[in-house]
Amino acid sequence: MKKNKIIVIVTLIVLLIGVVLVAYFTKGESILSQEKLISFDKYNLIKDKTLISDQSKTDDEIIQKVESGLFTFEKPLVIHNPYQISPLTAIIGFKTEEKVSIKVKIKAKNNGKDLEYTTKENTNHYIPIYGLYMDHDNIIEISYKDKINTVNIPVEKINVNKYFDVNTVVNKNNLPSSDNDFIFLSTFRGSYSVAYDQSGEIRWFLTNQIYKELNKLTNGNYLLSNSNLVNTNESPNILEVDALGKIYSNYSLENNYMYKFVELPDGNILYSSTDGKVIELNLKNGKVEKIYDINKIIKNIDENQQKLFEEKFQGLDEIEKHDFINSLDYDEKSDSILIGIFPYSTLININKDGEINWIFAKPEYYSDKFTKYLLTPADENFVYPLGNYNSKYKDGKLTLMDNGWDFSMSSSCTMTRQLESSARDFTIDKTTKKITETNKFTKDYFSHRLGDYIVDGNSRYVMFAYIFNSFTEKTDQCTMLSEPNFDSKIIILNNEEELFEMTLSNFYNYLDKRPIYDQNYEFKKVETKYFDINRKYDKYEKVSYKEKFNNAVTNNIPFTLSGNELQAMYNGDNYKIVLMDEYGNGYKYTPQNNNVKVKQGEGKQLILIEKDNEIYNTGYYINL
């Protein structure tokens, strides 16, 4: 009996395997039996216009020229602004017979400090040149062993007024002569990322509205937003870019990027999005790992807390509710996330599961249900900070820019004249939830809403930003956002001694001080990686174009692509845009104002125009 059962089971297994194999090979045959109708090699790829330059072509040309041996140490290849968006950079290329490292010296002007660095050993040399002066004939000295050569790179005067105001004064510079770091500044308000040297000269910036927080990743590149903006404060895309302007990755975002990002130990990032959300994004695949909804976290403690906020913050309008998160940091030791809630002068620390560890805010801003989370001052004379821009938290130490004002207060010109901002340090006992102030630096400045503060060992970098120099007297209220006369003050201290001060007639929100040159830089060809979300797409009709394509007429109708929006430069009416794959499968769209939103994930597709039963082959294809 048992033997018969075994025979039946074995027979069934054999039959099942047979069915699977037949299905597999049948499927394989159906795929293999499809004959390719076209090859995309002879057509032109339309790239997303958010990719600024055809950089892979530039890389190919540079590599080909250097490897040819035609360019030598004595007569090198010189390419100014190789990727078209970093005007104060260049590449010097040549070949040497032996493997050597090259010393680079960019000669300073006006008795400034020469910029010096050394490349890695190589025979094919692709030397990145950073920190050129604009409106200047730059002199670059390259050398190895006993050989020295001088290269001139003239840079014409650039109309930087469309990028940033350039009125800059260095009031004090007692930094050590060995310190040649640049001052990097950026902002979320539609301006541009820029680096100044210690003489107040602009030595680096990116054009094409690549901006927002300029923060380095561990791989040496930067994450910034690109020009495809919904409005001046949020972006549906972020780019990974290096200082030369080469774009490595382009990420489309389901949740628009607002102000801040921070890199996690595993290479993911956290960034602040709209409507009080913090997004964890995997940079390897462009996918969202987790969403922290701050409004929901607060509501889970007390669903009526929002009503209390509305009572306390009478001046809060819809814009301020939207501009929600102004601080974001990660503490590896406690595996916790610090989030600044700007409208409520609140810092909230959560774990990776989204549970609250502690809250730092005035107790009167919160209901009794939050009492167990609120930090308690150790000093009875404790003064709560307000605004709390760019707060940072590491291993029990909290630093922040106390703006001295929030939406519970009046914003009259008379009142704001009496305010001053400060950079403040605190320690937090996580067990007792006691907070103690340990340091405070202040000047006679009111840094309304913006500013940054960084502690690096014994050094402190302070930026008072959005400083009012004059006030609108015609009304009772200051015209905060349209008032034209603002300054930013950059102050660097070491052991509490003020060594450096610079004034800029503009406002910024992010500050950093570091060398422009990355010692780990290595030139290589880069094909920009696109990480696209599945955006909404228009309705389409799926039709075979195998037969129709044979009668297609060549007509080079140009197109532009932004994200998944395809726009035809075409004057015809009542036509269809057809995307056809290499097997002749067509996807027919009806454009509105010459635009269609196409479905992503279909790979390479040739663009056809269908009008009055005629098929036109445009000669262009997309790859989404």
pLDDT digits (tens, 9 = 90+) for 366-387: 999 999 999 999 998 999 999 8
- Say how many domains are in the chain: 4
> CATH code at 233?
2.120.10.30
Instruction: Assess whether 451 and 540 both reside in one domain.
Output: no
Contact 580, 605 (CB under 8 A): yes
Other residues' Cβ atoms within 10 Å of the Cβ of residue 398: 25
Residues 500/218, Cβ–Cβ less than 8 Å: no
Locate 542 and state its tokens. Answer: 């799926």
pLDDT value at residue 110: 86
Specify the CATH number for the domain of residue 99.
2.60.40.3100
Residues 256 and 382 in one domain: yes
Positions of the chain with pLDDT lower than 50, given as ranges: 22-33, 229-231, 318-319, 321, 472-477, 479-484
> Cβ distance 155 to 80 under 8 Å?
yes
Instruction: Give the domain-ending residue among 504, 527, 550.
Output: 527
Burial classification of residue 390, based on how many CB atoms lie within 10 Å of its CB (0-12 exposed, 13-18 middle, 19 or more buried): buried
> Looking at the structure, do residues 568 and 546 belong to the same domain, yes or no?
yes
Instruction: Say what the pLDDT of residue 71 is.
Output: 97
User: Which DSSP category does 35 fall into?
Assistant: P
204 and 69 fall within a common domain:
no
Check residue 310 and give its pLDDT. Answer: 84
Do 15 and 61 lie in one domain? The reply is no
344/386 Cα distance (integer angstroms): 9
Angle ∠(378,384,388) on CA atoms, nearest 5:
125
Alpha-carbon separation of residue 314 from 310, 440, 476 (angstroms):
6, 29, 16
For residue 548 the two structure tokens come to: 């129709």
Domain that includes residue 105, residue range: 55-155
Helix axes 294-301, 305-312, angle to 10 degrees: 110
What pLDDT is stored for residue 15 in this prediction? Answer: 60
Domain match, 370 and 305 both: yes
> pLDDT at position 32, please?
35
One domain for residues 317 and 386? yes
Tokens standing for residue 452: 């940054």
Q: Looking at the structure, tell me whether residues 387 and 272 fall in a common domain.
A: yes
State which of 502, 527, 552 marks the end of a domain.
Answer: 527
Question: Both 321 and 390 in a single domain?
Answer: yes
DSSP bridge partners of 512: 184
Residues 608 and 475 occupy one common structural domain: no
Domain end: 488, 505, 527, which one?
A: 527
CB burial readout 11-46, b (16+ within 10 A) else e:
eeeeeeeeeeeeeeeeeeeeeeeeeebbebeebeeb
Strand positions, DSSP E, 443-539 = 452-456, 459-468, 486-494, 497-504, 510-514, 529-531
Residue 196, pLDDT score: 95
Query: Which pTM was predicted?
Result: 0.79
pLDDT value at residue 72: 97
Q: Based on the fold, state whether residues 132 and 168 are members of the same structural domain.
A: no
Same domain, 134 and 98: yes
